[in-house]
């Protein structure tokens, strides 16, 4: 794997928010690989934490790096969730789901006391724009759900992987809807959520508490 320096820098900078005894939400995506590698090193040095993974891929990486895992149960208290994003706007609204893990990521983020997002400079935008908004939909009748999305003015494209429909860890499909400029993220998110068959969208509205931006010469934080 070619090392992405800015993602690795953001991951390293987030370690100061990890303390002994914490339960940590483990987001998904390539940036999380760097975080999990660092976290694994800390665990090998004696740090006691538990992680709640948001995807099968994250679960595998965590186990590879020796990060102990736990489940998200009623009494689980997630002290901090660490995750990546595809874009972060000036109001800290996030576009996520490039890797298709948006539903579990959102459940974990919503359960966490704090959500810290790790990105590089290119993902910081004033408004979310020129991107695909991932929408997780139930496979049953998905074409009807896609028609309902079309009626809202979008052009949903079923996501494919390795020549077959992409299946999320929840057993669902993802349709990607191209967005030119997102003027009203909450309104758009709500518009999708009210459609039967839609599980959730990759818009995380007002959920991030802190954003760590990895740059060539170090990390910058916003909150």
Contact 61, 6 (CB under 8 A): no
Angle CA(16)–CA(18)–CA(20) in degrees, nearest 5? 125
Q: Which is nearer to ligand 5RP, 39 or 148 (CB)?
A: 39
Applying CB under 6 A, among 25, 40, 51, 98 the residue interacting with ligand 5RP is: 98
What pairs with residue 69 in β-bridges?
51
User: Is residue 145 annotated as involved in ligand binding?
Assistant: no
Lookup: tokens for 116: 């810290």
| 27-46 residues near ligand 5RP, rule: CB under 6 A | 27-31
Contact 58, 28 (CB under 8 A): yes
Residue number, 25 or 99, with CB nearest to ligand 5RP: 99
Q: Tell me: does residue 181 bind ligand 5RP (CB under 6 A).
A: no
102 binds ligand 5RP (CB under 6 A): yes
Regarding 25 and contact with ligand 5RP (CB under 6 A), the answer is no
Residue whose pair of structure tokens reads 């975080």 in the numeric block: 35
Was 97 annotated as part of a binding site? yes
Q: Is 105 a catalytic residue?
A: yes
Binding status of residue 101 toward ligand 5RP by CB under 6 A:
yes
Q: Which stretch binds ligand 5RP (CB under 6 A): 43-51, 92-100, 168-176, 184-192?
A: 92-100
CA nearest to 115, candidates 86, 148, 80, 146? 80
SS3 163: coil
Distance CA 215, CA 120 (A): 6
Please tell me whether residue 96 binds ligand 5RP under the rule CB under 6 A.
yes
State CA 179 to chain mean position distance: 18
In the complex, which residues of this chain contact ligand 5RP (CB under 6 A)?
27-31, 83-86, 96-102, 105
Q: Which residues are catalytic?
A: 105
| Residues making up the binding site | 28-31, 96-99, 123
């Amino acid at each position: 794997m070619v090392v992405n320096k800015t993602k690795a820098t953001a991951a390293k900078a987030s370690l100061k928010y990890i303390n002994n005894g914490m339960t940590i939400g483990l987001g998904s995506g390539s940036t999380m690989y760097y975080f999990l590698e660092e976290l694994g090193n800390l665990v090998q040095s004696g740090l006691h934490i538990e992680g709640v993974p948001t995807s099968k891929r994250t679960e595998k990486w965590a186990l590879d790096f020796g990060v102990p895992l736990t489940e998200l149960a009623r009494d689980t208290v997630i002290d901090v969730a660490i995750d990546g994003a595809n874009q972060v706007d000036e109001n800290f609204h996030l576009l996520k789901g490039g890797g298709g893990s948006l539903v579990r990521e959102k459940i974990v983020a919503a359960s966490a006391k704090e959500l810290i997002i790790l990105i590089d400079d290119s993902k910081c935008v004033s408004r979310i724009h020129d991107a695909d908004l991932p929408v997780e939909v139930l496979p049953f009748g998905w074409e009807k759900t896609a028609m309902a999305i079309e009626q809202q003015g979008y052009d949903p494209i079923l996501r494919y992987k390795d020549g077959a429909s992409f299946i999320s860890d929840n057993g669902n499909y993802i349709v990607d809807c191209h967005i030119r400029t997102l003027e009203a993220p909450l309104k758009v998110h709500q518009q999708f959520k009210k459609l039967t068959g839609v599980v959730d969208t990759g818009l995380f509205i007002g959920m991030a508490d802190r954003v760590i931006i990895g740059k060539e010469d170090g990390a910058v934080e916003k909150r």
